[in-house]
A and B are shown apart, each in its own frame.
Chain A
Amino acid sequence: MDPGRSLIATRGIAAVFAVVVLILYGALDGRLPWLGHFEWIGAATRETSQAYTAALSSPDLNEDGQKLEAFLFEQNQAARSDLAGAACILIGPALAMGPDWPCAPYWHRLGPPHQLHDRIRQQGGGAYSVWHGTLYFSTPDGGDPSRGRRFALWVPWTEAASWLAAAATLGLAWALWPWARARLRLVAALFGLSAAGAAASIGGTVAGLAWAGLLLAAAQLLPYRPTSRPARAPIWALALAGFVAADALLGVACTSLGLTPRLQTMQMLKYLVERQTDRPILLLVGSSLTQYDIDEAELEQALEAAGHPMTVLRLGFGGMSAPERLYYIRRYLAAARHRPALVWFEISAYYDLWPLKQLEQNRYSTRAVAAMDAATLRLSLDWALGPDAPPTERWGLAADLIGHFALHVSQAGFLANSVWPDQLAADAFAGTPPKTKHFVDADIAADLAATDGARTLSADLLAPGAALPQTIPSAWARRALGKQIDLFRRAGAISFGFYAPPARMPDEGAYARLFCRARPGEPCLIASDPTLLAALGHDEAWLDETHLQGPGRRRYTDWLAAQLAASGTLP
């Protein structure tokens, strides 16, 4: 035969063989039926009434921490008496995977596999697991496995199958190379498509790598012809147009697909938006103080007991200052199934006096970028360029804010850090983290007393180099609050109020008093009740220096419910 034809024939045969191997490998979930070995189960020992154990040949057979793909089969008596049955014993139970396989009548597949031992003991029915070289199993009918019955564990050689699949892939590449060489664009497109398929089926890091491969192929395959002719259009304008157009399309695609940044704050938002209720909603807006110090369910129960059946929701998360809150308030009001009738705002010197502290500490984080839309930028710049920010930091801070905004607008990191809507869990963050810090009761009592007695503010909570605002709340804090109240009012809220959670920082106490004094006629609850403070003067009431937990959280929530009920603002 002509050597050229011979090579073509060889490549053709290799391609067909490789494709068969790969199809089988894919269809059988990473196994090839003829690759494996079976272990006959010898003497089985009864463990409980339904559970038996049998030693296997190797302690490496183990599904502790990994899912071992082994299959337990019971052999039909006929297998030993007819020719086909004998052949099926010879081949092993691999060809009895499905009901249509030729050996299916001779082998009965047991299951479910990978079961907890307790489940095998309690329910039996063929459940089994493989544990450090021991088969832990039950029979389908609960009968003794050693009385005239034979069992076999089929252990596929998944590793050998993987090697074979890898070899088949290489063989296919070799077989197709002369054809592919002349069609690199098509090959790149096929590679991209298969990478996208792998991405869709596997997800996670591998999906990201596949996507990167696709972009790499696109970058390399951009048509380009070096020329000495001058450019007709400004090259940067063309590039910018491409960027803007792709960005806009991406934005539309992401919005229509419902992609959401993978953030806990988004989980909180999803919970708020999806909460179903037929009662009026009381929304508490704040930060980690609102998140940790108030028990939503307890507050609802206490209000109901006081004759005010309401649904309590919290729009508050650790590190959430007014500019970020504004972003989540707008998103909540735009999508909420039920809007709040009453809105109470947390009072916090920490967030009002240095509202961009968290952003400065988490610059260019997914969360900081996600919330930096035009409205958040305006409010943030208002503070950064205003009199309350440190003069030396102003322009650097402003540049940083604009940088965050630019990343937000260009959807930087959006594909890498987003999830599908059904992958984002709605979470009310009802609990508190484990307590790791401990305090002396007397110190807590002294802190609480100092906070309760404080009337003047120090500069401790300010950004370095900043001066205390001339008024409390500052002009900026009033504007920030005004924007939030406006949004709620337009969404139908009828009543507003303020609360200052218990603090162990004199500046917080002083700030709360000055704040409430500046808003006469509006309900304002400061946790200065001596009975409450006495109850909070214990280590178990505090999660850390700032937040409550356990009994402290419950006591404050009950106190807050009583105060809210007494405020006369609740329906």
Chain B
Amino acid sequence: VNFVSAPFAVFLALSYAGYWLLPRGRIRKFLLLAASYVFYAAWDWRFCSLMAFVTLNAFLAGNALGAGRNQRLALWLSIGADLAMLGWFKYAGFLAANAGSALQALGLPALVQPPPILLPIGISFYTFHAISYVVDIARGKAKPHGLADVALYIAFFPQLVAGPITRAGFFLPQLDRVPRFSAEGQALGLRLIVKGLIYKALIADPLAGLADPAFASVSAQTDRALIEAVIAFAGQIYFDFAGYSALAIGTARLFGYRLPKNFDYPYSALSLTEFWRRWHISLSAWLRDYFYIPLGGNRGGELKTYRNLLATMVLGGFWHGASWNFVLWGALHGLGLCLHKLWLKVRPEFLASESWAWRGVALGLTQLWVLAAWIPFRCASLADTRRVLAALTALPAPSVPALLILALIAADHVIGRTRMPASRGMTALGRPVFWTGLGALGALIVASLPLVRKAFLYFQF
């Protein structure tokens, strides 16, 4: 299941060769579907049935919606079934544990025991795909498709376990066309894969080596070590998830499919509103379109807007995992978004300038908020969270590794946003230089990969 592994490389090579060698037509889609289920079964074959159930549920509801029969009932039954399943597998243990604690606090016997449930990998992502399918049909943004198409949309292996969360209206029309092999598509795909490999294996994993030991024993760390760990984690989660997303989008591109962009250099955001347009874009857009706007969005006055924002972000935090830490993280971001909206209303005119100095202040404040919010996200307990937040407020000077991590993030954000055109001398040789260069870079990356790898962070969500 891990994209950065030799078995996945073999799996990808076989799927890729089979896909493009097969004659054009539905058989290619069936091959991709079979490969996606094999991919999922490699983690735990029993849960393939769960994914199949989600698919069937979405397919039947989609057909009912398309036929105009009992539309409301079909929509809510389908969404309810998806959410019930997600709730059971992801949140039942958490809710039972909290209910037990509450009863104990009241002096009552803990009648509710947390059930031993294994969290199916990627469940948060494929249930959202299924919900997107029925909602988009109900809204007229997608048309009902055949079972194989729906199954492939939900199970497509590049985005199966950690997104990007793809809208039905975005992906299904691509299944109606026949993907063509193009050098440009392959170049884009491979370039993204190379970038993803560097992000994940060469940057995020070593950063985990800096962050994990400190977060494992927070009370034993100095303020400086804790700040280094927080900065390392901020780098780790970005490079890990953005790396996974690049690998997923690049892999899909190799098969001729597009997936939505998931990251757009979020640590350059000048406000939290902008941050959420750049970080996990597919989730924030999903929550905006399927939760925030139906909840009322920014229609209905300021207070309601703030309420909706907070509720959306708390839900987003809870989506990441059944833990109060994630809820707190979501709430902090919700609060930050509300404060930003409030600031936009009350700020004096002269502060609305776009000067360098002001942009620098905005960048600093925004990223400091983001950094502080990562603390509850990563800490194992609220006590650890308090300790690390105290270290942050002590403002110790950054260590050399911390400065280098910040420099690396800055370099990534500056260089990554710059597309280098071929210089004049390279025009004739542009394509051979690009492809041989990419191959050479591949050799260097393979030689640099540590053979012991960590799983992607977002696989747990």
With contacts A185-B420, A209-B408, A399-B10 taken as known, whether A238 is within 8 angstroms of B432 at the C-beta atoms is yes
Q: Is the CB of B209 within 8 A of A205?
A: yes
Kindly state the separation between the CA atoms of A30 and B6 in the bound complex, as whole angstroms.
Answer: 43
Q: Pick from B400, B414, B423, B439: contact of A246, CB below 8 A.
A: B439
Q: Pick from B423, B439, B448, B449: contact of A223, CB below 8 A.
A: B423
Q: Is the CB of B447 within 8 A of A213?
A: no
A411 contacts the other chain (Cβ, under 8 Å)? Answer: yes
Binary contact readout A251-294 vs B (1 if CB under 8 angstroms, 0 otherwise):
00000000000000000000000000000000000000000000
A160 contacts the other chain (Cβ, under 8 Å)? Answer: yes
With contacts A162-B398, A223-B426, A225-B422 taken as known, whether A174 is within 8 angstroms of B356 at the C-beta atoms is yes
The interface centre, meaning the residue of B6, B416, B421 with most chain A CB atoms within 10 A of its CB, is: B6
The interface centre, meaning the residue of B198, B399, B401, B416 with most chain A CB atoms within 10 A of its CB, is: B198
Q: Can you name the residue of chain A whose Cβ is closest to the Cβ of B425?
A: A223
Q: Is the CB of B411 within 8 A of A411?
A: no
Kindly state the separation between the CA atoms of A414 and B194 in the bound complex, as whole angstroms.
Answer: 18
Q: Which of B68-76, B180-188, B304-312, B329-337 contacts A (4 or more CB under 8 A)?
A: B180-188
User: Chain A residues with Cβ under 8 A from B444's Cβ?
Assistant: 215, 246, 250, 415
Q: Pick from B183, B397, B437, B452: contact of A162, CB below 8 A.
A: B397
Q: Can you name the residue of chain A whose Cβ is closest to the Cβ of B437?
A: A222
Q: Can you name the residue of chain B whose Cβ is closest to the Cβ of A224?
A: B434
A347 contacts the other chain (Cβ, under 8 Å)? Answer: no
User: Chain B residues with Cβ under 8 A from A227's Cβ?
Assistant: 184, 430-431
A113 contacts the other chain (Cβ, under 8 Å)? Answer: no
Kindly state the separation between the CA atoms of A415 and B449 in the bound complex, as whole angstroms.
Answer: 8
Tell me the chain B residues, 395-416 only, with Cβ under 8 Å from chain A: 396-401, 403-405, 407-408, 411-412, 414-416
Q: Can you name the residue of chain B whose Cβ is closest to the Cβ of A404?
A: B6
Q: Is the CB of A416 within 8 A of B450?
A: yes
User: Chain A residues with Cβ under 8 A from B427's Cβ?
Assistant: 225
Q: Is the CB of B436 within 8 A of A239?
A: yes
Kindly state the separation between the CA atoms of A215 and B412 in the bound complex, as whole angstroms.
Answer: 11
Q: Which of B199-207, B258-266, B284-292 contacts A (4 or more CB under 8 A)?
A: B199-207
A536 contacts the other chain (Cβ, under 8 Å)? Answer: no
With contacts A162-B398, A209-B206 taken as known, whether A184 is within 8 angstroms of B420 at the C-beta atoms is yes
The interface centre, meaning the residue of A220, A232, A410 with most chain B CB atoms within 10 A of its CB, is: A220
Q: Is the CB of A163 within 8 A of B397?
A: yes
Chain A binding site: helix, strand, loop or mixed by DSSP? helix
B344 contacts the other chain (Cβ, under 8 Å)? Answer: no
A546 contacts the other chain (Cβ, under 8 Å)? Answer: no
Q: Pick from A208, A216, A365, A410: contact of B446, CB below 8 A.
A: A410
B195 contacts the other chain (Cβ, under 8 Å)? Answer: yes
A191 contacts the other chain (Cβ, under 8 Å)? Answer: yes
B43 contacts the other chain (Cβ, under 8 Å)? Answer: no
B443 contacts the other chain (Cβ, under 8 Å)? Answer: yes
With contacts A222-B438, A239-B190, A365-B452 taken as known, whether A211 is within 8 angstroms of B210 at the C-beta atoms is no
Q: Is the CB of B439 within 8 A of A410?
A: no
A90 contacts the other chain (Cβ, under 8 Å)? Answer: no
- How many interface residues does chain A have, given as a range? 35 or more
User: Chain B residues with Cβ under 8 A from A410's Cβ?
Assistant: 443, 446-447
The interface centre, meaning the residue of A215, A222, A245 with most chain B CB atoms within 10 A of its CB, is: A222
Kindly state the separation between the CA atoms of A239 and B432 in the bound complex, as whole angstroms.
Answer: 8
A198 contacts the other chain (Cβ, under 8 Å)? Answer: yes
Q: Is the CB of B441 within 8 A of A416?
A: no
B451 contacts the other chain (Cβ, under 8 Å)? Answer: yes
User: Chain B residues with Cβ under 8 A from A158's Cβ?
Assistant: 397
Binary contact readout A222-236 vs B (1 if CB under 8 angstroms, 0 otherwise):
111111101111010
Kindly state the separation between the CA atoms of A325 and B166 in the bound complex, as whole angstroms.
Answer: 51
Q: Is the CB of B439 within 8 A of A239?
A: yes
Kindly state the separation between the CA atoms of A23 and B90 in the bound complex, as whole angstroms.
Answer: 54
A400 → B minimal CB distance (Å) = 9
B85 contacts the other chain (Cβ, under 8 Å)? Answer: no
- How many interface residues does chain B have, given as a range? 35 or more
Q: Is the CB of A416 within 8 A of B440?
A: no
Kindly state the separation between the CA atoms of A158 and B6 in the bound complex, as whole angstroms.
Answer: 45
Binary contact readout B53-94 vs A (1 if CB under 8 angstroms, 0 otherwise):
000000000000000000000000000000000000000000
Tell me the chain A residues, 178-233 only, with Cβ under 8 Å from chain B: 184-185, 188, 191, 198, 202, 205-206, 208-213, 215-228, 230-233
Kindly state the separation between the CA atoms of A208 and B400 in the bound complex, as whole angstroms.
Answer: 14
Tell me the chain B residues, 360-417 only, with Cβ under 8 Å from chain A: 396-401, 403-405, 407-408, 411-412, 414-416
Q: Is the CB of B440 within 8 A of A242?
A: yes
Q: Pick from A66, A210, A238, A416: contact of B439, CB below 8 A.
A: A238
User: Chain B residues with Cβ under 8 A from A209's Cβ?
Assistant: 202-203, 206-207, 404-405, 408
Kindly state the separation between the CA atoms of A224 and B446 in the bound complex, as whole angstroms.
Answer: 22
Q: Is the CB of A231 within 8 A of B440?
A: no
User: Chain A residues with Cβ under 8 A from B358's Cβ?
Assistant: none
Kindly state the separation between the CA atoms of A174 and B183 in the bound complex, as whole angstroms.
Answer: 39
Q: Is the CB of A238 within 8 A of B436?
A: yes
Q: Pick from B198, B419, B430: contact of A215, CB below 8 A.
A: B198
B404 → A minimal CB distance (Å) = 6
Kindly state the separation between the CA atoms of A532 and B209 in the bound complex, as whole angstroms.
Answer: 48
15 A-B contacts, Cβ less than 8 Å apart?
A66-B222, A166-B397, A209-B207, A211-B448, A216-B412, A217-B411, A220-B416, A224-B430, A239-B190, A243-B439, A246-B440, A247-B443, A366-B451, A411-B443, A417-B450
- Return the 10 tightest CB-CB contacts between A and B, nearest first: A242-B439, A159-B397, A242-B436, A246-B440, A238-B435, A162-B397, A212-B202, A246-B443, A223-B422, A239-B439
B residues contacting A by CB (< 8 A) are 5-7, 10, 183-184, 186-187, 190-191, 194-195, 198-199, 202-203, 206-207, 209-210, 222, 224, 356, 396-401, 403-405, 407-408, 411-412, 414-416, 418-423, 426-427, 430-452
Give 17 A-B pairs besides A209-B405, A242-B435 with Cβ atoms closer than 8 angstroms: A184-B420, A191-B411, A212-B202, A216-B411, A218-B437, A218-B441, A223-B421, A223-B430, A226-B184, A230-B183, A231-B183, A238-B432, A239-B442, A243-B442, A366-B452, A410-B447, A414-B447
